[in-house]
Structure formats: C-alpha cells, structure tokens
Amino acid sequence: MSLNNFSWFRIGWGIRGASVFAGQTDLTPKNSALSGDTLKFGKITSTSLSFLVGANVRLWRFDIGANTDLFGLSFGAKRGGLYDQNRLPFNEESEKYNNYIPGSPVVLNAVPLVLDNQNGQSEIYVRYWIADQIGIKLGYVHGRVTYSTDVKLANDQTRFSTTYGIPYVAIAFPLYN
C-alpha cells in the first residue's frame, strides 16, 4: 500500500552530525549494578556522524515525530579515566583499580536506542508551522556516549557509557520542498 494515500503520515531518513562535550563524567559498564565499576573522566568529547530513520504524523499545522540513529561512526580524543569500584575488589583485576585507564569513543555504532554501549541519539518532537516555510520545534534528545578501553577490565568489560537528555526549542524551516 502506498503512503501517498496517507498524506498525514511520513517516513524519512537522514544524516545526523552531533558532538558531545562534557566535564567530569562517570561512565559505567552494562552490568554496573553487579560490578560497581566506574570509569571517571575529567572531561569527555565525542563527535559522530549517523544515518537515521524517522516518522511523523501531521495534524493540521502540527508535526509530531521521532527519529533514531540506525548506525554511525564516532571519534574523539583518547583520555585517561580513573577506574573505580564502590566495593572492595576481590578478583584478578584488582591491580587496575584506582589507576588511569585509557579510553576513547567507540568508533562503529549500531541502534543505540536498543543496544547498550553504543554512541548515538534519538529524538522526539512537536513542530508547529507558523507559515509554510517557518515553524517552531519543541523536542527532546536522548543520547548515549560510550568509551572503549584498550584493556579488558573486571568481568571482561571494555565499554563504559552514560546517557543524557536535552530538551530544546528551535526554529524550523525546510531545506528543500
């Protein structure tokens, strides 16, 4: 069935460029509740380029939509994170605790909304079109920053991540019609 019969519903794709710059940040592994491991960075940076897919519904002058990264590439500076644990270490990785472990953003990423320890973003929004060529957009971006280490840490962990959320207001205009 063609989507031409449903002019109020749109599916699209695009490319997203994004950068995250943060001060002191604690990154945790997927199973942090079990291990209590943390990599503590003085600052993190991650720049990414992603292919995304999205959908929106148009109701009068309102667009209500969402999009998410499917796959992408990320890069950033290699930094040392203090490897910490909130309980006494009793394993073979004990000598790595309270030392700086080098880490950098995970390069290849896929479906970060569903898979843990991937870099990427998802967005939900409401856009009101004031006129045909200009609108106001209210949205929320949910993102994840993931660093990988050069060495395996406790429980064979090499990926540590954190999530963030950013509400925003923007002016919207079409780049083409």
Q: Determine the pLDDT at residue 1.
A: 42
* Over residues 113-132, mean pLDDT: 94
Q: What is the pTM of this model?
A: 0.87
Do 79 and 62 touch, CB atoms closer than 8 A? no
Instruction: List the structure tokens of 98.
Output: 């309270």
The mean-pLDDT minimum among 3-12, 64-73, 91-100 falls in 91-100
